[in-house]
């Protein structure tokens, strides 16, 4: 495998963090993805530097972290420009003397980052086919310049044994693991419906307004609600191993919700609204459930509650769903190999070492273009469509 110098540049100011922060106190999905990908790339042997809003220079998991605002010169093979909060602006890189063989803008949300077409972008990396379509329709980026790479989650570490036992999963234990604005009210609505049927149901809430840099604000106390606030990833991963269902009912069209992938890797069944990137990872009745309808409507809460009750009453079916959910292939090593394989292809194409995608007796289902096979599946080099299988 070719090893590259990789620089991830993120000028977001709304949070201060370094490579230890996700496990210690928890951060949003965009920051978590940035840190996890950097660590996975370094584990493959790439030389990785993260220029971000870190308090001081340091090395964590073989990744060098440097405060971004003191950097005036970058020399690298791969420059990844990434923003996931605050001003959502990559233009500060224009004040830096940069030499890079490839410039990649890596986005995490629906709004186009400011400066997208000003920074000399070679490739736009997006976390879902949903955002690929948004980028084509609304951001004026051609499909041939778009690369879809999912965010990922590693399998949770085994629960530390306590007197030879592992805590059992509680089918009555529900979780909500995101910013409160996305769908906490809907999760509480489902909880209230369920508790009218059976008082054993509880909802454990992980995450807070601090995810986006705001002040802590806990929801009002009520029966069955357990509020944990912002929680480190290690503790959250163990909590997901104990929970039966993750509630992800919302209207916000997220690109690919990392919270849902983390829940699936832990065997926690996801109930989600069919919006944004959710339908790409949740296969209804196979590894979770998609619940249509207005997430603020009590009729939607009742449908979700019926599915939760079904899982409690039919544990064999719940085990089937959990098994399939845990089998999602997007761990961080796989995704680091996917990114690396794409760079090999980009640099080979630029050096005329290879003429294009590998010739396969397969073609893109959407445009008929050539597929580039990588560690996570197939990527169309003409329209950018990603497919786990052709």
Q: Point out the domain boundary residue: 273, 308, 326.
A: 326
pLDDT band at 183 (very low <50, low <70, confident <90, very high): very high
Residues 243 and 387 in one domain: no
Residues 195 and 129 in one domain: no
> How far is the C-alpha of 13 from the C-alpha of 68, rounded, in Å?
10
Residue 219, domain member (yes or no): yes
Q: What is the pLDDT of residue 195?
A: 98
pTM metric for this prediction: 0.90
Residues 41 and 140 in one domain: yes
pLDDT band at 353 (very low <50, low <70, confident <90, very high): very low
pLDDT tens string 304-314: 999 999 999 99
Whether residue 89 contacts residue 11, with contact meaning beta carbons closer than 8 Å, is answered with: yes
**In a 10 Å sphere around its CB, with 0-12 CB exposed, 13-18 middle and 19+ buried, how is residue 292 labelled?**
exposed
Q: Point out the domain boundary residue: 309, 326, 343.
A: 326
Average the pLDDT over 237-256 and give the result. Answer: 93
> How far is the C-alpha of 171 from the C-alpha of 364, rounded, in Å?
41
Query: What is the domain-level CATH number for residue 183?
Result: 3.40.50.2000
Residue 164, domain member (yes or no): no
**For the chain, what is the domain count?**
2
Average pLDDT, the chain: 91
Query: What is the domain-level CATH number for residue 33?
Result: 3.40.50
Residues 386 and 355 in one domain: yes
Percent of the chain residues topping a pLDDT of 90 = 76
Residue 162, domain member (yes or no): no
Average the pLDDT over 28-34 and give the result. Answer: 89
pLDDT tens string 249-301: 999 998 888 889 999 999 999 999 999 999 999 999 999 999 999 999 999 99
Residues 322 and 345 in one domain: no
Residues 176 and 322 in one domain: yes
Q: Point out the domain boundary residue: 326, 351, 380.
A: 326
Residue 20, domain member (yes or no): yes
For the cut 50, the answer to whether the pLDDT of residue 121 exceeds it is yes
Residues 6+ apart with CB under 8 A from 262: 153, 177, 233, 236, 237, 240
**Better-scored residue on pLDDT, 209 or 47:** 47
Q: Which domain holds residue 214?
A: 170-326
Residue 75, Ramachandran bin (φ over 0: left; ψ between -120 and 50: alpha; else beta): beta
pLDDT band at 329 (very low <50, low <70, confident <90, very high): confident
Residues 298 and 213 in one domain: yes
First to last CA, the chain: 25
Residue 57: other Cβ atoms inside 10 A? 11
Beta bridge partners of 225: 203
């Amino acid at each position: 495998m070719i090893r590259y110098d990789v620089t991830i540049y993120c000028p977001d100011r709304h949070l201060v963090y370094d490579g230890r922060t996700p496990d210690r106190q928890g951060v949003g999905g965009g920051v978590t993805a940035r840190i996890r990908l950097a660590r996975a790339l370094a584990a493959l042997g790439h030389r990785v530097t993260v220029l971000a809003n870190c308090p001081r220079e340091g090395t964590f998991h073989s990744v060098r972290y440097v405060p971004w605002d003191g950097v005036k010169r970058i020399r690298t093979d791969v420059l990844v420009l990434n923003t996931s909060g605050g001003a959502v602006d990559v233009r500060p890189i224009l004040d830096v003397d940069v030499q890079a063989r490839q410039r990649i803008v890596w986005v995490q949300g629906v709004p186009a980052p400011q400066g997208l077409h000003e920074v000399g972008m070679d490739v736009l990396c997006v976390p879902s086919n949903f955002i690929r379509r948004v980028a084509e329709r609304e951001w004026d980026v051609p499909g041939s310049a778009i690369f879809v790479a999912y965010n990922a989650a590693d399998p949770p570490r085994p629960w530390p044994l306590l007197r030879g036992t592992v805590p059992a999963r509680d089918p009555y234990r529900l979780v909500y693991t995101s910013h409160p604005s996305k769908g906490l009210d809907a999760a509480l609505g489902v909880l209230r419906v369920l508790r009218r049927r059976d008082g054993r149901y509880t909802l454990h809430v992980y995450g807070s307004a601090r995810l986006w840099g705001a002040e802590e604000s806990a929801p009002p106390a009520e029966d069955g609600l357990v509020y944990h606030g912002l929680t480190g990833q290690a503790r959250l991963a163990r909590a997901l191993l104990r929970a039966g269902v993750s509630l992800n009912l919302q209207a916000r069209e997220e690109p690919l919700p990392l919270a849902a992938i983390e829940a699936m890797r832990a065997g926690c069944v996801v109930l989600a609204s069919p919006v944004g990137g959710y339908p790409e990872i949740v296969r209804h009745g196979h590894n979770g459930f998609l619940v249509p309808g207005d997430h603020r409507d009590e009729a939607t809460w009742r449908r979700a509650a019926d599915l939760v009750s079904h899982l409690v009453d039919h544990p064999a079916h719940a085990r089937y769903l959990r098994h399939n959910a845990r089998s999602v292939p997007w761990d961080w090593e796989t995704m680091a190999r996917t990114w690396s394989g794409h760079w090999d292809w980009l640099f080979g194409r630029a050096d005329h070492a290879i003429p294009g995608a590998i010739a396969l007796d397969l073609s893109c289902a959407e445009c008929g273009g050539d597929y580039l096979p990588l560690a996570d599946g197939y990527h169309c080099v003409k329209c950018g469509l990603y497919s786990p299988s052709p």
